[in-house]
Amino acid sequence: MKAQFLAFSVAAALLSACNQPSDTSSNATAAPASSFDAAAAEAEAASSSSAAAASAEAIARQNEAYRVAITEALRQDDVAGHTYRGATAVAAAMRQIDLSETPAEYRIAYFDHIAAWENYGKLQDEYANLSSDDSESNVVASSFLCSLLSCGATPIKDRIDLLNRLRAAMVQANNEIGTTFHAVERIAVSYDAALPSANAASS
């Protein structure tokens, strides 16, 4: 009876040992999973680094294209300012400059600069017309006629007042040309574009 009990105990112990998972088996299955995770993380990091490098390279190429385009646009602007006489003619030449390859912020700033030139041109033309000999003769004639007819008008005084207002408006418009060109220059510098020579008149 005792021998049968011992045999039964040994058999039960062996059966229990067979049913329990071994630590070696667990470690063997865990190791490949850990290696796979590390490899996946390394591949993802390499992919992200490659994408970042490609993006940086594309941005650098675009900025270089902008630099070249802005430099050429400024060169043509400088030529326009030295070739044409009168603000209206200069503004018309500036309108012909190709800005399609420049960045949007530069185009906006340059169009504001052109508008400033066009406004100055209108005032300049009006002042020239009002200051012409024909205009002055007409004002004198009108003033003489009004004095004969006692019409109460003051053509000469009105003309002088208008000329003074035009002069003041032209000063303001000329300042606006400088302000808008400085905005253009700031954007150009941000793209490392070459500016016109310092002794060249800004346009």
> Which segments within the chain are labelled E, that is strand?
none
pLDDT at 99: 97
Helices (H), 132-154: 133-149
Q: Which of 82, 86, 156 has the alpha carbon at shortest distance from 126? A: 86
List the chain domain ranges.
54-197
Q: How far is CA 122 from the centre of its chain?
A: 29
pLDDT at 157: 75
Per-residue model confidence as pLDDT tens digits over 8-46:
444 454 455 455 555 544 444 444 567 777 777 776 777
Whether the CA torsion 152, 156, 159, 160 is positive or negative: it is: negative
pLDDT at 145: 47
pLDDT at 179: 97
Q: How far is CA 49 from CA 52, 69, 176, in A?
A: 5, 30, 47
What is the percentage of the chain residues whose pLDDT exceeds 70?
67
Per-residue model confidence as pLDDT tens digits over 87-118:
999 999 999 999 999 999 999 999 999 999 99
Q: Which of 177, 163, 181, 79 has the alpha carbon at shortest distance from 126? A: 163
Burial of 109 (0-12, 13-18, 19+ CB in 10 A): buried
Coil, helix or strand at residue 53: helix
> Alpha-carbon distance 21 to 34, whole Å?
20
> Alpha-carbon distance 197 to 173, whole Å?
24
Kindly report the pTM of this predicted structure.
Answer: 0.65
Coil, helix or strand at residue 84: coil
